[in-house]
Structure 1
Amino acid sequence: MKAYLKFDYTILTKKIVEEKLAALNLKFSVIGFGEIELQDTISNEKLELITTALSEYGIEIIENQKSILIQKIKDTITEMVNSEEPLSVKSSVYLTEKLNHSYGYLSNLFSEVTYTSIENFIMIQKIELAKNLILNNQLTLTEIAYQLNYSSVAHLSTQFKKITGITPSAFQRIIAKRRVQSLKN
């Protein structure tokens, strides 16, 4: 039997970090998504233990200031895309307000370090969420387009095809076909 799971990356990551740090008897507080504050000064050996414990889950500690800001941009975009309510402001305004830097600076830095634009990263995140929403089979394409702040299903379909090579409808048919096949097996 196959089971389809829905999970929140933010909650999952926070839980893993909290459990691993607690297991190492560290006093800490969670400041925000992807940001913690250790209450005590830690030795290099303890830092290595933390790094090892988190790395098995693909979580790493960032120390370079540019890398920290890039991660904050990615985290803010992920938070923005996964928000239950559509944004009432443009993504550039949202990022500027959340990160206290001009959008021009954020955009140039992001492109310089990641070799892609913020807009492209947002589009990729939205399409990944759209794929998950289609897999969960609970929303129509119109509802998905609205939730992801697209002006129409056609706009969603255009970007979906640009990223995946197929339309959302074709993706739905493939998923439905696979589900039928798995039920037969």
Structure 2
Amino acid sequence: MPGTQLKIKNMVCPRCIRVVREEMERLGYQVRDVTLGEVLLSDADPDLTKIARMLEGNGFALLADPKDRLVEQIKTEVIDLIRSGRIESLHVKLSDYLAERLDRDYTTLSHLFSTHEGITLERYTILQKIERAKELISYGELSMSEIAYQLGYRTIAHLSSQFRQIVGESPTAYRKSLQSRGEADPRRPLDGVTKR
């Protein structure tokens, strides 16, 4: 059955999937499937200009360049793995996981990512983990040990060290400062973590 597959930048959560699906349907397209970073339409010849405009209006972007699409796939895999809580149960290194999931050599993926984003893939992964740690800390439901485990850290000390390096304070101090200020969590959007 003919159709069109579109790659979309900045889709990072289930809410993004819902928005893209609703907006595509509002434009009159028959949507077969929407996943993080991808839409499959039944329509064989959609108006890409109209779709790009709609996506940009909602904070997304249509990807045409294969390298851009691959970088977005890398980001999507990293974010999905970290947010799913599966990272702690991974029995392979992240590099092997990404190479297998994307069917590419990790050295190629890492080089492309660094060139495209101006940050190493390892650093990007750490930043995503720290943003997730900040989110989990702000909920106040898990201990630091549970957070460290869920994010794939072998020790609380390792999480604390990376957290302090990026945020400027320990996870415990961060939790206390959130509680004492009574303010909203100063997290960054997931698609903006490369801006540090």
Place the TM-score, normalised by the shorter chain, in its bin: 0.7 to 0.9
Whole-angstrom distance in 2 between the partners of 1:33 and 1:146? 25
Distance, in Å, in 1 between the alignment partners of 2:102 and 2:34 is 14
Higher-Rg structure is: 1
1:76 maps to 77
> Could you tell me whether the CA contact under 8 Å between 2:99 and 2:106 is conserved in 1?
yes
| Matching residue of 2:139 | 136
CA distance in 1, matches of 2:120, 2:33: 29
Who is 2:159 aligned against? 156
The residue identity in structure 2 corresponding to 1:68 is: R
1: distance between equivalents of 2:150 and 2:101?
21
Aligned length: 171
- Whole-Å Cα distance in 2 between the matches of residues 57 and 150 of structure 1? 35
User: Which residue identity is paired with 1:24?
Assistant: L
Amino acid at match of 1:73: I
- Cα distance in 1 between the residues matched to 2:58 and 2:91: 34
- Cα shift at 1:31: 5.8
Deviations along 1:111-153, whole A, 9 cap, x unmatched? 1111111100000000000000011111111100000000111
TM-score (norm 2): 0.82
Q: Which residue of 2 aligns with 1:104?
A: 107
* Post-superposition offset of 1:47: 2.0
Structure 1 gap segments, 5+ residues each: 1-8, 181-185
- Alignment root-mean-square deviation, CA: 1.7
For the residue of structure 1 that corresponds to 2:25, the secondary structure is helix
Q: Which residue of 2 aligns with 1:174?
A: 177
Letter in 2 for 1:75: T
Q: Confirm or deny that 1:88 pairs with 2:91.
A: yes
Moved more, 47-56 or 74-83: 47-56
CA contact (8 A) 2:145 2:155 kept: yes
C-alpha separation between the residues in 1 aligned to 2:182 and 2:92?
Answer: 38
* Helix, strand or coil at the partner of 1:82: helix
Q: Which is further off, 15-24 or 28-37?
A: 28-37
Instruction: Give the structure with the higher percent strand.
Output: 2
- Opposite residue 91 of structure 1, the aligned amino acid is L
In structure 1, give the amino acid aligned to 2:70.
L
Corresponding position of 1:4: none
- Aligned mates of 1:116, 1:74 — CA distance in 2: 12
Deviations 1:1-43 (A, max 9, x none): xxxxxxxx42111000100001111022226421112222335
SS of residue matched to 1:150: coil
Deviation of the 1:178 alpha carbon: 1.5
Of 121, 129, 149 in structure 2, the residue corresponding to residue 146 of structure 1 is 149
Shift of 1:89: 1.8
How many angstroms apart in 2 are the aligned matches of 1:32 and 1:54?
15
SS in 2 for 1:120: helix
Asked whether the equivalents of residues 85 and 151 of structure 2 are also in contact (C-alpha less than 8 Å), the reply is no
Q: Aligned partners of 2:32, 2:73: CA distance in 1, in Å?
A: 18
Q: 1:131 and 1:84 mapped to 2: Cα distance?
A: 14
Instruction: Give the secondary structure class of the aligned counterpart of 1:61.
Output: strand
Report SS of the residue matched to 2:154. coil
